[in-house]
Amino acid sequence: MKNIVILISGRGSNMESVVRASQAEQWPARIAAVISNKADAAGLAFAKASGIATAVVPSKDFASRAEFDAALAQAVDAFAPDLVVLAGFMRILTVPFVEHYAGRMINIHPSLLPDFPGLATHRQALEAGVARHGASVHIVTTELDHGPVLGQAEVEVLPGDTEATLAARVLVQEHNLYPRVIRAFIEGRPGAGSGTAA
C-alpha cells in the first residue's frame, strides 16, 4: 500500500476530489496525511472528518524559505510518502526540497502547459485570445511549472468569458483530471492521465 501526502494552503477542493476518488475507487494507496502551511486552511477540517492525519507547518513562523522547507520536509517524511501531491499549496519551494522529492512530487496547474506558467493564468488566457484553455498535471521540478506533463484537460473559451467563469469551468476539469492522473501514477501507468475534456 503506497502512501500519498497532500499539501494544501486553503480550501483544498482538489484535495477533496483526490480523497473522494481514492476511497470510492479503492486505490492501492492511502492518503496518509494532509499538511498545510496555514492553520486556518479549510481543507484540514475535511481531511480530519475523513479520518486522515493532518499537520500544520506554519510558514509565517520561519525566517526563511529554507528553514520552512526543512521543517515541512520533516513533517512530510514522517508519513513515508511514495507520492507528494500539491493541491493549492501556495508556496514556491526551494531547490533542496524539490530535489528531495524528485520524481515523486506532482502539481496541478490551471493552464495548458507550457502555455501560461505562473499566476493569473485565466487572465493570461483571455488576454491572449486562445480558443482552448484548461489544466495540466506535471511532475514538479526546480523550474516553476516546467516539469514533464502527465495529463491535461481542456475547456473551450467562450465568448463573454470572464476570469471567474473560465476559472470555474477549468476547476471542474481539475477535479476530474487530478485523481485520474494520480491513480495512474501510483499504478505505474503515468501516460494514462492524458486526454482532453470538453
DSSP of 146-170, one letter per residue?
-SPEEEEEEEEPPTT--HHHHHHHH
Backbone angles phi, psi at 63, to 5 degrees: -75, -20
- Summarize the confidence of residues 166-175 as an average pLDDT: 97
Q: How far does CA 165 lie from the centroid of its chain?
A: 21
Cβ proximity of 19 and 41 under 8 Å: no
Higher pLDDT: 198 or 94? It is 94
The CA distance from 115 to 170, in Å, is 15
pLDDT of 189: 83
Question: Could you say which of 100, 109, 133, 138 is catalytic?
Answer: 109
Q: Give just the sign of the alpha carbon dihedral 156, 160, 163, 167.
A: negative
**What is the pTM assigned to this prediction?**
0.94
133 is an active site residue: no
Cell numbers linked to 38: 496555514
What confidence category does residue 198 fall into, taking pLDDT thresholds of 50, 70 and 90? very low
- Chain segment 54-102, per-residue pLDDT in tens: 999 999 999 999 999 999 999 999 999 999 999 999 998 999 999 999 9
What confidence category does residue 191 fall into, taking pLDDT thresholds of 50, 70 and 90? low
